[in-house]
Amino acid sequence: MKVLGIETSCDETAAAIVEDDGEGPGRVLSNVVLSQLDDHRPYGGVVPEIAARAHLQHLDRLVREALERAGVGLSDLDGIAATAGPGLIGGVMVGVMTAKAMAAVTGLPFMAVNHLEGHALTARLTHGVKFPFLLLLVSGGHCQLLAVEGVGRYRRLGTTIDDAVGEAFDKSAKIMGLGYPGGPLMEKAASGATNPGRFDLPVPMKGRPDCDFSFSGLKTAVRRHVENLGGTLSDADRADLAASFHQAVGDSLIDRCTKALKVFKEAFPEGRTLVVAGGVAANQVLRARLTDLCRRHKFEFVAPPLGLCTDNGAMIAWAGLERLRLGLTDGLDFAPRPRWPLDPNAKAAPFAGVKA
Ligand code: KG4
Ligand code: ZN
């Protein structure tokens, strides 16, 4: 089966074609991503209206390019998938309307994909990971631990009670004068540190019996250190502070994942894999810490290649393909959802960030 996937929920306009041949991992036939970073950089963050207009301007061309690069025509496709939420609603509408129009014209099935399910199932596209698995989902809008039992079957073990981890990277980078987007810039800065233990930062939620996260206090602690340094940082200060930040985030994630592994093992003794997904999963320092954690717990650790961690169309095409295989298609009256939790039974985290 071949499926076209469209992603427009934040600041990447993306289209891709993926294919499966039954069992095991799938194949990415094309994966075209247009980053809008330059459009948003002057504002230090994503401006929803600018994002929606940019998606509208570029999406048709990107879909055409994805088809061309894959060497397929519309008649070779088995279905059309688009991110239908959660995300910035103007952008989501652009992607959903495009996919619905193509489905209406071609008569192909339409799949409304949850963006988070796209991230969650990427490890099945790349590595053929079997259900159930434990998922650490870390992106700009989300920070969750989930037991993934099957397509559309998620049990949330923990979530952030305030900021998402990617948000903490972005906000701390801004406070430190590193610019936007913060994640990759913080990682680059930290690689030049000479004294990574120089700054004392709290390890959020360490030792708590649940599997929840919290990152807003860490950002405040970064601000305090910047103020103590007189507001202006040398490159060496930035490098050391970025490294101390990575240490604190890493310690917190490892502590929370250790708790979640225990809960997961009890509920799913047959499960053997921890998957990390979402933009923050691109971070090499955090990947190394998680690799080490899994080695100690005799778990397999799976992280998708960097380009499939940050937002892309292939993850949406794959989630659409998995849904199509199960007959889980959607009507053309499906309404985009700005909020759309993976586990509808999990209680809402009242102070969590916009998309949690
Ligand atoms: O999944 P994603 O592309 O978009 C959302 O769905 O949110 O994630 C974007 C987030 C941003 O906060 C960005 O700073 C972070 O992922 N990120 C990173 C790295 N690359 C991207 N965070 C830490 N280290 C990185 N290398
Ligand atoms: Zn994402």
Using a 6 Å cutoff on CB, does residue 10 contact ligand 1?
yes
Query: What CA dihedral angle connects 193, 198, 199 and 203, to 10 degrees?
Result: 90
- Token pair listed for 6: 């469209």
Query: Does the CA dihedral 61-109-137-293 come out positive or negative?
Result: negative
Ligand 1 atom nearest 311 alpha carbon: 3
Is the model's pLDDT at 349 over the cut of 80?
Answer: no
The Å distance, Cα 353 to ligand 1 centre, comes to: 15
Is residue 183 lining ligand 1, measured as CB closer than 6 Å? yes
User: If you compute the radius of gyration of the chain from its CA atoms, what whole number of angstroms results?
Assistant: 20
When the pLDDT of each residue in the chain is averaged and rounded to a whole number, the result is 95
Decide whether any atom of ligand 1 lies within 6 Å of the 176 Cβ: no
27 burial (CB, 10 Å; 0-12 / 13-18 / 19+) is middle
User: Is the per-residue pLDDT at 256 higher than 50?
Assistant: yes
pLDDT at position 37 is 85
Ligand 1 lined by 182 (C-beta under 6 Å):
yes
Q: How far, in Å, is the centroid of ligand 2 from the Cα of 33?
A: 13
* Local confidence band at 150 (pLDDT 50, 70, 90 cut-offs): very high
Residue-wise pLDDT tens digits, 13-53: 999 999 998 888 999 999 999 988 888 988 888 899 999 99
**Secondary structure (3-state) at 35:** strand
Q: Is the CB of 304 under 6 A from ligand 1?
A: no
What pTM, to 2 d.p., does this model score?
A: 0.94
Residue 73: burial class (beta carbons within 10 Å; 0-12, 13-18, 19+): exposed
How remote is the CA of residue 324 from the centroid of ligand 1, in Å? 28
pLDDT at residue 213 tops 50: yes
Report the share of the chain in percent with pLDDT over 90: 91
